[in-house]
Amino acid sequence: MDGDATAGSGPWRFAQCFGDKGEVEDITEGKSLSLPGACSAPLTSAADIISTVEFDHSGNYLATGDKGGRVVLFERNNQKRGCEYKFYTEFQSHEPEFDYLKSLEIEEKINRIKWCKRQNAAHFLLSTNDKTIKLWKIHEKTIKQVSESNLHNGQRATPPPTTAAALKLPKMTTGDAVVAAIPRKVYANAHAYHINSISINSDGETYISADDLRINLWNLGIHDQSFNIVDIKPVNMEELTEVITAAEFHPIDCNTFMYSSSKGTIKLADMRDQALCDGHAK
């Protein structure tokens, strides 16, 4: 629908809408609505609330994550003249967990999604909840199946063939292509606090993850080792005055990154300066 034109700007309209166009008041924590004389009608679940949205580098693919731990991918429809996206695939990225050491429940909500630069026919992306980061491979594969055999409808055996022409040899046929999502790496147990940001480096080999007090540097190919490059945790937690709110790599310079804090400051750091990036430009 067209919006009201404001000073200096033209009219705007929604190009596309995904999902049910329900009211905000209809979203509940998994409850159902019971009406007199009617069966209970489920309302929109809180697990369906979208928590993050991310385009890939080309803009042809769109990824969304929700509070239920699901990742839904959309593909641009090139058959349309305008900018329109269609459903591509959906998979369960994270499940709810429980930290028995800290007696803490870890929800499955997707906090961030980041696409890796595409190098072949497959897509790679990172997704994270509060504690665990996962590297996913999304690719199309064809289903192969046996088309002929010496069975009636593929269930019971036929009478023994009396001639060579009656003997059927199994044949493999190629079926429809399906989109598969495979977890390639799981990066866990590296953050004591909730992860709020992930950012892939321009070198395509490393990425950073940030929680409230620390930023870690990872190699995409190594799941069980990371390096702490920023640590603002005080010796006495009562002296804590700020927390990290976001972190991002420079889009071109692979040595430079910045992070923001709850004090409203943005700090620029260079990893070439020292291992622990305590020095920064503010």
Please provide the DSSP assignment of 125-189 as one string.
EEEE-SS-EEEEEEEEEEEEEEEE-SEETTTEEPPPPSSGGG----EEEEEEEEEEEEEEEEE-S
Give the Cα-Cα-Cα angle 263, 228, 66 (nearest 5 degrees).
Answer: 65
Please report, for the chain, the start and end positions of each structural domain, with discontinuous segments joined by +: 190-282
Buried/exposed code over 175-191 (b: 16+ C-beta within 10 A; e: otherwise):
eeeeeebeeebebeebb
More confident residue, 133 or 8: 133
pLDDT 10s digits, 234-276: 999 999 999 999 999 999 999 999 999 999 999 999 998 877 7
Q: What is the pLDDT of residue 84?
A: 86
Residue 124 is predicted with a pLDDT of 97
Where does the pLDDT of residue 42 fall: very low under 50, low under 70, confident under 90, or very high at 90 and above? very low
Whether the predicted pLDDT of 280 surpasses 60: no
Query: CA nearest 52: which of 84, 16, 13, 93?
Result: 93
pLDDT band at 157 (very low <50, low <70, confident <90, very high): low
Q: In this structure, how many other beta carbons lie within 10 angstroms of the beta carbon of residue 128?
A: 26
Under 8 Å between Cβ of 51 and 65: yes
Q: How confident is the model at residue 151 (pLDDT cuts 50, 70, 90)?
A: low
pTM of the model: 0.79
Tens digits of residue pLDDT in 167-208: 666 777 777 788 999 999 999 988 999 999 999 999 999 999
More confident residue, 249 or 159: 249
